[in-house]
Structure 1
Amino acid sequence: MRRTIPSLLAAVAVAFGAPAALAGNYEGCPAEITIGTEGAYPPFNYIGDDGELKGFDVDIAKALCEEMGADCTFETQSWSGIIPGLNAKKYDAIIASMSITEKRDEKVDFTNRYYKTPARFIAAKDMDVEISESGLEGKTVGVQRATVSADFVKDKFGDVANIQTYDTQEEATLDLVSGRVDLVVADAVKLKEGFLASDQGQAFEFKGPGFSDPKWFGEGIGIAVREGEDTLRECFNKAIAGIREDGTYDKISQDNFGMNIYGG
């Protein structure tokens, strides 16, 4: 039986001690992977009271690494610098609730999606507001900079609303509470499970529909790798399919949100 080149390399690795690049459950997948994430985007990725990284993105990353048989470490990076950090080889992949968009695809390569949720606006419960050009005219909207939500709100409502950008989503919601902005727009699950579930969030609610137009929000949330890293990208794709098939994905999603957020 003829062996492929990867099979021959794997055989040599077994004979002489497997190198990191060829270890793991999947042939040819790396044995060590460094994951870049923001660490400031609860409940998807954040640093807990114990100083450890937590959240859905982190749980998914660990499950994918276990599926591949790889040892994973994490590096935190501010959102605005997270793609430059990847391309500077500070880490091997980004798992940080990053939307797959054409603009980002010019700088990195993406896996298949691992979840898909809409963006929504929130405001004070007693505010009567329509999410439209006329309804948002003169309003101040808070949004995290360098996000798909920022691109969306600037393109869609930038001519009529005042757009205030922030380094983190939490800074935006703090200004909502203090009255410095009238509304905030972000991922609906992030807002529902994070801010709206908090004590401060009890006076606020969703306004208007969800938004998921691919023009701004792409095809969902994916894992970013450096351009040309096709082997690593396909290892992640296979692992995503694997944890969905064996029920691991659903358990993680249910544990974090009480529902499956993979999306249709």
Structure 2
Amino acid sequence: MKRWYLALAALVALTLAAAPAQAGAVIDRVFAKKELVVATSGAYPPLTAVSKDGELIGLDVDIVKDLAQSLGVRLTLKRMPFERLVPAAAAGEVDLAIGGIGVTPQRNAKVYFAGPYFISGQTLLATQKVGAGIKGLDSVNQPGFSVSVAKGTTSEQAVRQVMSKAKIVVADTLDQALELLLNGQVKAMVADYPYCAVAAFRNPEAKLGTLEKPFTFEPLGIALPPGDPQWDNLVTNFLFNMEGGGKLNFLKNRWLKNPAWMRLLP
């Protein structure tokens, strides 16, 4: 029996030694087709949005443009609802998905994540009149307080955890959740801080404001199909070099600190 185990171990070792190193399925596909296929929602400004000309723009879009250029391949952007981004990456329908995707254990169990490339957090968006009465999360975790969130987001998860007593209204998209607030159908909206800041800028007549600090810590990452460590390694190192070289910080300043890009929106 001992001799049999030794023979089996030797056979396994020989097989592994003889197996050539191979690139993964995703990286092979990208270079074979000379195309990088990316899923994004176009509904999460300033990270991903649709311009008045119908083009996808934003911080995340610029990141994948740079990635495609560095690989010497063309970029194909596929717009899909936010809740489809991770499933599309998990199924290998796209080479990666990006667009304000929070890195959570539940999502990470389905896909690889490169990054984080951005640290965000959930905040509350409300009119200044409503905001004046908010002293903390206890003020909004009440049966008489209504709050809107987008379906399938970490915002929805956060609200169900910390505002379970409030009336939670789930919208299909972030923009629809915002409309509920602007139309007075809810008292507040919960979303990632960048989206809320842009919403306040774009709707000055509504006199909107946010909490001084986000109430969650949320790293954002790039979702990659599972099973291709080399592709994950490539995208991770691309982000590392982008940050170290200052390009990522340059793009963050462009999209997060300078409101000039808003004139591109419809």
If the TM-score is normalised by the length of the shorter chain, which range does it land in? 0.7 to 0.9
User: Helix, strand or coil for the counterpart of 1:232?
Assistant: helix
Q: What is the SS of the residue equivalent to 1:211?
A: coil
Please report how far the alpha carbon of residue 53 of structure 1 lies from its aligned counterpart in structure 2 after TM superposition.
0.7
For 1:197-254, what per-residue CA distance to the aligned partner results, in whole angstroms no more than 9, with x for missing partners?
01356411113631224xxx4xx11111112121111110011011112221121111
Contact 1:129–1:207 under 8 Å retained in 2: no
Please tell me whether the aligned partners of residues 40 and 46 of structure 1 are also in contact (alpha carbons under 8 angstroms). Answer: yes
C-alpha distance in structure 2 between counterparts of 1:105 and 1:202, whole Å: 37
- Name the residue aligned to 1:211: 215
Partner SS for 1:180: coil
The answer as to 2:76 corresponding to 1:73 is: yes
Q: Give the distance between the partners of 2:149 and 2:252, measured in 1 at CA.
A: 25
Q: Supply the distance in 2 between the matched residues of 1:53 and 1:135 (Cα, whole angstroms).
A: 35
2:253 corresponds to: 254
- Output the CA distance in 1 between the equivalents of 2:212 and 2:166: 16
Question: Is 2:126 the partner of 1:123?
Answer: yes
CA contact (8 A) 2:36 2:74 kept: yes
State the 1:30 CA deviation.
8.5
Instruction: For 2:150 and 2:245, locate their aligned partners in 1 and report how far apart those are by CA, in whole Å.
Output: 35
TM-score normalised according to structure 1 size? 0.80
**SS of corresponding position for 2:213:** strand
**Correspondence for 2:9:** none
Residues 241 and 208 (structure 1), Cα distance of their counterparts in 2 relative to 1, 3 Å cut: closer
Q: Distance in 1 between matches of 2:76 and 2:255?
A: 21
What is the SS of the residue equivalent to 1:51?
Answer: coil
Residue 240 and residue 31 in structure 1: after superposition, are their counterparts in 2 closer, same or farther (change >3 A)?
farther
2:148 corresponds to? 142
Aligned mate of 1:85, from 80, 84, 88: 88
Deviation at 1:256, TM superposition (A): 0.8
User: Closer, same or farther in 2 for the Cα pair 1:56/1:257, shift >3 Å?
Assistant: same
TM-score, with length taken from structure 2: 0.80
Match of residue 153, structure 1, among 150, 154, 159: 159
Q: Are residues 1:187 and 2:186 paired? A: no
Q: Identity of counterpart residues, as a percentage? A: 24
2:238 counterpart SS class: helix
1:177–1:200 CA contact under 8 A, matched in 2 = no
Indicate the residue corresponding to 2:11 in structure 1.
Answer: none
RMSD: 2.5
Question: Structure 1 CA distance, aligned partners of 2:185 and 2:228?
Answer: 43
One-letter code of the match for 2:227? G
Aligned match of 2:57: 54
Match of 1:33, SS?
strand
Measure, in 2, the Cα distance between the counterparts of 1:196 and 1:116: 20
CA distance in 2 between counterparts of 1:101 and 1:23 reads 27
Aligned equivalent of 2:179: 174
> Structure 1 residues 201, 189: closer, same or farther in 2, change over 3 A?
farther
Whole-angstrom distance in 2 between the partners of 1:78 and 1:136:
29
The answer to whether the 8 A contact 1:130-1:208 is kept is no
Larger of the two Rg values belongs to structure:
2
Give the deviation of 1:81 after TM superposition: 2.0
Which deviations, in whole Å up to 9, do the C-alpha atoms of 1:39-64 show, x marking residues without a partner? 12222111111111111110111122
Quick one: distance in 2 between partners of 1:228 and 1:201? Answer: 49
Give the match's secondary structure for 2:39: strand
Query: Does structure 1 residue 37 correspond to structure 2 residue 36?
Result: no
Conservation of the 8 A alpha-carbon contact between 1:140 and 1:164: yes
Give unmatched runs, 5+ long, in structure 2: 1-19, 259-266
Measure the CA separation in 2 of the matches of 1:239 and 1:157: 38
